[in-house]
């Protein structure tokens, strides 16, 4: 489900457009370089340190400054709260709109504005994407001592599932699985990101969690190698070796559409974005820096060393994907709002 097919068109038109873009990019880079030279740019992450979004943000931040015109210093700032919405509200309201701040598009960027519009200070359609290092397919995983090995086992045995907040996908996903498939998971909230949740699993505070597969491979690969953790199912569109996808276990089309509304943000994965109001030349500079970074041999080698997948998409491709995503039906909004414990509009 890539966005590249939205960028196709007659070869001649593409050649003309490319020449115009190159001209604008050169002019934009010259002015942007003056702005970014000597600056410190903040990269905001809506989780605590130690999880997948944090890991990828630190990875990107350690390289992208070399490729942004003017070579600014890029630092990561963790801002956990409200399933990632606190960080996005900050980017949209309190943060400078001069291109000196960009943020991770947390999964609730797509969900919360629909189901709880009073909780956000932004219109997601007005944000612009910088790029995505990798998609972020999520899985449902349990600790090896639980004895649970399949989704059917979860229908017979109650397990505790660690999550951040009731409005987070880490809580919404297992709650919906209970409703749609008849499992018996008990969600325990209060863990500020994937890192603390995985620590809680190791300490037997919780039995399971939902987590990005890239995070497991990148930060807990030894758990998979030593079979300390069992992956029960994939939670979105990506195929998971040896495990079913939840969407394939749901037989009713309307229920599957409900599930997909929550699952689709995984395609955006580790995407970063800027809030409305950032000047076009600085957005272009950030995109230029991102596009150069994900092709940089040093960046790719570092990703391999860190065991982090690199499967990039450009900001323009993500903008197109976001526009195509459209709006969920009122029925889906109401259902997810109920699961999240909020009143839909």
3-state secondary structure of 168: coil
d(CA 177, CA 30): 51
Sign of the torsion formed by the C-alpha atoms of 71, 75, 80 and 83: positive
Q: What is the pLDDT of residues 269-311, one digit of tens each?
A: 999 999 999 999 999 999 999 999 999 999 999 999 998 989 9
| Whether 287 contacts 99, CB under 8 Å | no
For residue 314, the 8-state DSSP code is E
Q: Is the pLDDT assigned to residue 19 strictly greater than 60? A: no
Instruction: Average the pLDDT over 116-136 and give the result.
Output: 93
Q: What is the pLDDT of the chain when averaged over all its residues?
A: 88
Q: Which of 174-178, 186-190, 262-266 is the least confident region?
A: 262-266
Q: What is the pLDDT of residues 229-278, one digit of tens each?
A: 999 999 998 888 899 999 999 999 999 999 988 888 888 999 999 999 99
Which two tokens mark 263? 């699952």
Q: Is the pLDDT assigned to residue 95 strictly greater than 50? A: yes
At residue 13, the pLDDT reads: 36
At residue 326, the pLDDT reads: 65
Instruction: Average the pLDDT over 49-76 and give the result.
Output: 95
pTM for the model stands at 0.74
Instruction: Average the pLDDT over 186-210 and give the result.
Output: 93
CB neighbours of residue 255 within 10 Å: 16
Is 18 or 57 the better-scoring residue by pLDDT? 57
Q: How confident is the model at residue 6 (pLDDT cuts 50, 70, 90)?
A: very low
At residue 318, the pLDDT reads: 94
Helix/strand number for the chain, H first, E second: 15, 11
Instruction: Average the pLDDT over 113-134 and give the result.
Output: 93
Q: How confident is the model at residue 32 (pLDDT cuts 50, 70, 90)?
A: very high
Q: Where do the domains of the chain lie, and which CATH numbers do they carry?
A: 4-136+268-340 (3.40.190.150), 138-264 (3.40.190.10)
Q: Is the pLDDT assigned to residue 4 strictly greater than 70? A: no
CB neighbours of residue 84 within 10 Å: 29
d(CA 229, CA 244): 16
Q: Is the pLDDT assigned to residue 9 strictly greater than 70? A: no
Q: Is the pLDDT assigned to residue 68 strictly greater than 70? A: yes
What is the DSSP code string of 36-59? HTT-EEEEEESS-TTSHHHHHHHH
For residue 125, the 8-state DSSP code is G
């Amino acid at each position: 489900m890539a966005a590249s097919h939205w960028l196709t068109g007659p070869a001649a038109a593409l050649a003309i457009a490319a020449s115009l873009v190159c001209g604008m990019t050169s002019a934009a880079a010259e002015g942007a370089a003056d702005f970014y030279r000597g600056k410190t740019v903040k990269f905001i992450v809506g989780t605590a340190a130690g999880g997948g979004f944090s890991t990828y943000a630190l990875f990107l931040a350690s390289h992208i400054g070399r490729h942004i015109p003017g070579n600014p210093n890029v630092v990561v700032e963790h801002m956990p709260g409200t399933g990632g919405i606190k960080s996005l509200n900050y980017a949209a309201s309190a943060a400078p709109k001069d291109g000196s701040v960009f943020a991770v598009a947390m999964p609730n960027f797509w969900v919360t504005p629909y189901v709880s519009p009073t909780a956000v200070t932004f219109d997601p359609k007005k944000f612009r994407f910088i790029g995505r290092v990798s998609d972020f397919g999520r899985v449902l995983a349990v600790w090896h001592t639980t004895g649970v090995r399949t989704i059917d086992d979860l229908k017979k045995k109650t397990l505790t599932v660690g999550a951040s907040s009731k409005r987070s996908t880490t809580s919404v996903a297992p709650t919906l699985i209970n409703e749609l498939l008849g499992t018996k998971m008990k969600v325990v909230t209060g863990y500020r990101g994937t890192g603390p949740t995985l620590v809680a699993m190791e300490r037997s505070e919780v039995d399971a969690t939902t987590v990005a597969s890239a995070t497991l491979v990148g930060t807990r690969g030894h758990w998979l190698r030593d079979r300390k953790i069992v992956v029960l199912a994939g939670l979105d569109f990506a195929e998971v070796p040896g495990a079913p996808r939840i969407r394939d276990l749901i037989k009713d089309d309307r229920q599957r559409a409900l599930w997909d509304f929550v699952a689709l943000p995984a395609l955006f994965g580790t995407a970063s974005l800027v809030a409305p109001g950032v000047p076009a030349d600085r957005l272009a500079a950030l995109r230029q820096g991102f596009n150069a970074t994900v092709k940089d041999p040093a960046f790719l080698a570092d990703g391999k060393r860190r065991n982090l997948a690199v499967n990039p998409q450009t900001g323009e491709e993500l903008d197109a994907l976001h526009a195509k995503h459209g709006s969920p039906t009122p029925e889906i909004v109401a259902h997810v709002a109920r699961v999240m414990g909020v009143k839909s509009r």
